[in-house]
Amino acid sequence: MLRSNRAGSTQVQPTAPVPAQTVRFSTPVVETPGIFILARWVARLVGLLVLLPFRFPVAVATVAVSVAVWHWLGWVALAVVWTVADLGLLVWWRRWPDLFRRCVALRALAAWRWVWVYRRHWQPVLVVAGLAESYQERQYLPRIRRVTCSEWSDRVRVRLVAGTAPTDVEQRVSELAHGFGAPSCRVTVNGPRDVVLEFPRFDTLAQPIDALEVPEAVDLRALPMGLCEDGEVWRLRLHGTHVLTVGVTGAGKGSVIWSAVRAMLPAIEDGTAQVWAVDPKRMELSYGRALFARYADTGETAVGLLEAAVSMMQERAARYAGKQRVHTPTVEDPFVVVVVDEVAFVTAYHPDRDVRRRAENALATLTSQGRSVGVSVLAALQDPRKEVLNLRNLFPDKIALRLDEASQVDMVLGDGARERGANAHLIDPDLPGVAFVRLEGSPVPVRVRAAFVCDADIDAMAAEYGAPSLRPVVDEGVA
Ligand SMILES: Nc1ncnc2c1ncn2[C@@H]1O[C@H](COP(=O)(O)OP(=O)(O)OP(=O)(O)O)[C@@H](O)[C@H]1O
């Protein structure tokens, strides 16, 4: 019934005239002759055949050569050519597996996934997700330009419909991920109307990562912490910034702290870096006490430690004034990282108001002035709300481990992070250490996993690098 002419004509004039609107002008409906429709289909088919060799040159060449060999030389010759080609591929695969993977396997996979996953489901998924646009009774969809595959993900390059914005896609990442059967979807904007949708095919971070090798030379601007989703090493900058690590209990904040300390060990050993630790829980950091230049585990001693860091910072600033603008770590003026586990203990939960106020003042001074004189703060926190830590914006770099609520993602990583796919509230509780971070120079959040530094590793670290001169001065009773 819907195919009848009458149904079609009512579709284009959905509203009948109302009494107040006695005269109504409408577009006349002209029926397209069948021959035009047929001609259009033929033209599209010819266009497809012309474009095919450009889009799939290898596949088209293979088919063309096979047909030619079969036509001119017969079946036996075709079988010989295929056997030789297969043997050639086999040798290539065995001899140069990486090159073979890049040039053959991943390209074949991309072509397959383009046709079988994205092309096939594109229209239904995008329409249901609300990404189809209508204009003058016609439907317009973003167009797939290219599909490429990496070891772990599909990257679908898309041309957006004119008049739409990448944010429209960013707001539908969950629908797209489910629609194409991927664990997640991330959006990268290349340029006007040009975005890339990245769909992981499997979770590369599903297995725990053992503590990384202690680096021979320490780069305080790129400490190896664990792995990124694409298999690259996740590197964290500490010198010249402050880092806030947020995650619910059991999310793996300890592994972030310990991975950072581990990556600094040679610098700690040679005296060009120091860790000052505040450990209100007394469980997390006390294990590696021998590695810390200073250590505090009560509210009062923690405030003493933070205020000592402020004094040291101000003394350095006074010395540097007018002479140098950038800090270079030396034994005389080492890089100092103040590690504060569960920072809310001293800023929000401590019963003594004076302790809270002094701790907050000290942290505010360190985070606002410490960067250029070689003092950084690495703080861990469970609850990112302003009532708990109103200094959170003074930390330029943040790490979002598993969070409680969706609304906390943007609180930690900044506006728009969740829309771009940083679903930190959906991190599996069985994957501690998994987090979303923003890497330098990119607004797109990256999924990472911190290496797990176990108790035995910490023992070994303390035994090897906790030299007597570095044994902690426990701040007892510093008021
Ligand atoms: N990167 C990691 N990889 C694998 N397992 C980890 C990782 N980090 C932590 N775990 C596991 O999760 C447990 C909890 O980790 P951790 O104590 O670091 O969490 P947390 O966020 O500091 O929690 P809390 O705030 O309660 O101290 C650890 O005992 C360990 O078994």
Q: List domains and CATH numbers for the chain.
A: 38-95 (no CATH), 110-202 (3.30.980.40), 223-474 (3.40.50.300)
The Cα 364–Cα 360 span in angstroms is 6
Rounded to the nearest 10 degrees, what angle do helices 57-73 and 34-55 cross at?
90
Dihedral-angle region of residue 414 (phi above 0 means left; psi in -120 to 50 means alpha; beta otherwise): left
pLDDT in tens, 90-108: 999 999 999 999 888 999 9
DSSP reduced 3-state for 199: strand
pLDDT at residue 189 is higher than 80: yes
Q: pLDDT tier at 22 (50, 70, 90 boundaries)?
A: low
Q: What angle do CA 320, 324, 327 make, to 5 degrees?
A: 85
Look-up: residue for tokens 């202690």?
214
Is there an atom of ligand 1 within 6 Å of 200 CB? no
The Cα 10–Cα 438 span in angstroms is 52
What is the predicted pLDDT for the residue at 2?
38
Short-list 59, 235, 199, CA closest to 117? 199
pLDDT in tens, 2-20: 344 443 333 444 455 555 5
Asked whether the CA dihedral 391, 393, 397, 399 is positive or negative, the reply is positive
Is there an atom of ligand 1 within 6 Å of 206 CB? no
What is the predicted pLDDT for the residue at 222?
92
- Pair 394, 364: CB distance under 8 Å: yes
The Cα 476–Cα 301 span in angstroms is 6
- ipTM (interface predicted TM): 0.96
CA of 296 to the centre of ligand 1 (A): 21
Is there an atom of ligand 1 within 6 Å of 280 CB? no
pLDDT in tens, 417-457: 887 778 899 898 999 999 999 876 667 788 999 999 998 99
What is the predicted pLDDT for the residue at 13?
46
What is the predicted pLDDT for the residue at 19?
57
Ligand 1 atom 14, closest CA? 250
Is there an atom of ligand 1 within 6 Å of 251 CB? yes
- Pair 141, 123: CB distance under 8 Å: yes
CA of 72 to the centre of ligand 1 (A): 68
Average pLDDT over the chain reads: 87
CA of 254 to the centre of ligand 1 (A): 6
Look-up: residue for tokens 């910072």?
313
pLDDT in tens, 245-255: 999 999 999 99
- Pair 271, 249: CB distance under 8 Å: no
Ligand 1 atom 29, closest CA? 250
Is there an atom of ligand 1 within 6 Å of 250 CB? yes
